[in-house]
């Protein structure tokens, strides 16, 4: 069960963290930023298009023939989304795990400025370990 990439967007839709795993093809840094903000707007439009009255969340899962995208939005508006194998079952738990690591190793880091790019070695390290255990 491979995990291909993880993206984290802040509440304005800016990409603050992205990483690829396995043999995923690398894109340019600008493309990642563009993909992140595209997802942010798709997420917002999808919640607008809801046929049911009352508020709807944005996109939670996208299923395609080559991958599955699972998104988790926190109450503070930060979006975590992961691209993985289409048959992966535990993506929701995984995203909660990533959120936990984010609160512990990014938000509690005194040098981290909120809403900015995440450059914390400890977070990278713990994230790899989390994925290593799950794979």
Query: Does residue 56 touch other proteins according to CB under 8 A?
Result: yes
What minimum distance in Å lies between the beta carbon of 22 and other proteins?
Answer: 8
The only residue of 42, 78, 109, 134 in contact with other proteins, by rule CB under 8 A? 42
The only residue of 1, 11, 12, 38 in contact with other proteins, by rule CB under 8 A? 38
Asked if 98 contacts 6 with a C-beta cutoff of 8 angstroms, the reply is yes
Contacts of 121 (CB under 8 A, 6+ apart): none
Query: Does residue 131 touch other proteins according to CB under 8 A?
Result: no
Q: Any long-range contacts for 38-41 (C-beta under 8 Å, 24+ apart)?
A: 39/7, 39/9, 39/71, 39/79, 39/81, 40/9, 40/13, 40/79, 41/13
Query: Does residue 48 touch other proteins according to CB under 8 A?
Result: yes
Q: Which residues bind other proteins (CB under 8 A)?
A: 4-5, 22, 24-25, 27, 31, 35, 38-39, 41-42, 45-54, 56-67, 69, 83
């Amino acid at each position: 069960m491979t995990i291909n990439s993880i993206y984290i967007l802040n509440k304005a839709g800016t990409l603050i963290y992205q990483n690829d795993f396995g043999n995923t093809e690398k894109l340019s840094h600008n493309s990642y930023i563009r993909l992140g903000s595209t997802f942010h707007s798709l997420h917002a439009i999808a919640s607008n298009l809801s046929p049911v009255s009352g508020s709807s969340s944005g996109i939670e899962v996208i299923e395609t023939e080559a991958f599955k995208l699972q998104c988790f939005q926190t109450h503070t508006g930060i979006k975590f989304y992961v691209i993985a194998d289409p048959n992966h079952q535990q993506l929701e738990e995984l995203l909660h795990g990533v959120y936990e690591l984010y609160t512990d190793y990014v938000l509690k880091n005194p040098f981290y400025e909120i809403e900015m790019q995440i450059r914390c070695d400890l977070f990278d390290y713990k994230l790899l370990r989390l994925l290593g255990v799950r794979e």
